[in-house]
Amino acid sequence: MSAPTTPQRRVALVTLGCARNEVDSEELAGRLAAGGWEVTTDGEKADVVMVNTCGFVASAKQESIDTLLAASDTGAKVVAAGCMAERYGNQLGDALPEASVLSFDDYPDISDKLESLLRGEEHEAHVPRDRRSLLPLTPVKRQNSGVVIPGHAVVDDATPAHLRQTLRRRLEGGPVASLKLASGCDRRCSFCAIPSFRGAFVSRTPDELLAEAEWLATQGVRELVLVSENSSSYGKDLGDPRLLEKLLPQLAAITGIVRVRASYLQPAEMRPSLTEAIATTPGVAPYFDLSFQHSAEPVLRRMRRFGSTDRFLELMASIRELSPEAGARTNVIVGFPGETRADVAELERFLTGARLDAVGVFSYSDEDGTEAATLSGKVRQDTINRRYAKISELVEELTAQRAEDRIGTTIEVLVDRISDGAERDASGRPVREVESRAAHQAPEVDGSTTLVGGIADQVRPGDLVRATVTACGGVDLVAEPVEVIDPASRP
């Protein structure tokens, strides 16, 4: 008589926040699958629901709390991981007894940790600490420090990277995946708390990145989105601050990869060689995700940032000289302490001259543990609201005009997904909707391109297609596909 088998445990991973969190969740999924867990993104019938939380701003924190509370209604064991859990630790545990709160330091033993929670064992949440203090002050001394850094896990560092098992499991399909260049940040922006709970800046080595990128290509990935808190700093702790421009063509040369996209770039760190590499390297999207935040010098100085309207416009001019159709996006904050009407006018001057494809507008609010929360000159909330509405309206007009300027141009798009639309053809069948993205459109944040007519009924997800832009609506484009340049592998 055979011994009874232990039923497989089921864990649902719910990811909130940015693409960096998505990579961390897929590392956790890899660890859990290796530990014998059935990993899913669906909380139904799960033994454990683990929420990879976001702790960036108030709205993100509230979404994390709401998601944890909703998970507790399922009857599963609820676990809070990720940024908000790391940032608040036992404070979150005391305020939300429905969830067990884990630290990044728990990730290497995550399977055993969840097993112990299922057995009813008590878990004491960690006391929050500044994770920058865990690493040497000098960047080049941070490698191999032994500090747990999410998304940087290595199964066996004695084995060459290209021969190691990739400790990652994809949670979502599709032809696009994020690849984490680095974690943490050494900048001291006065409005941002991320370095305190994400830690100091640490790069992953090129061999690790190339090995993981090759693995992603075998999983059907066609576009790599390079993510970090600050991608333009990549390599500084490895002794080569120009390492990113060397890595880009290597990633683009991987079989199956048709597009590499760099994100999270700092304007003050955009050296000419990096600008040229992104704008001109075959297979690399001429796309510039630049964190301007503002353009008025007095505001930037209080933010502990560098630049000015004229310097930023010069940067944009240098990009467009190399690649006239290059895409560019940014985020801006209005209502920062001390911001004046003249500062807002300066921001308007920059936005009008920069011709950006997408702009995220945020209204300032005090954030726990930041220098900005202690600054004088707070702007009244009703004034912040007016400025937010004004800049948002301007941005909507400017980005729509930028999209309109692309009508009649030829673009290369990657087909993301195909679905049955609400409309029906003459025979009553649903009209096929083909959603894709051009080089200037990053996933989730920059709009998309709908393919209509031409060979739209022949393309498949993952195809790289040449198309002609025929119309636009806001930042979204409509285009007629002309030719499949590089088809995805067919099952």
Cα distance between residue 29 and residue 41, in whole Å = 10
Residue 83 labelled as part of a binding site = yes
472 labelled as ligand-binding?
A: no
User: CA 463: distance to chain centroid?
Assistant: 23
Binding residues for [4Fe-4S] cluster: 18, 54, 83, 185, 189, 192
Binding residues: 18, 54, 83, 185, 189, 192
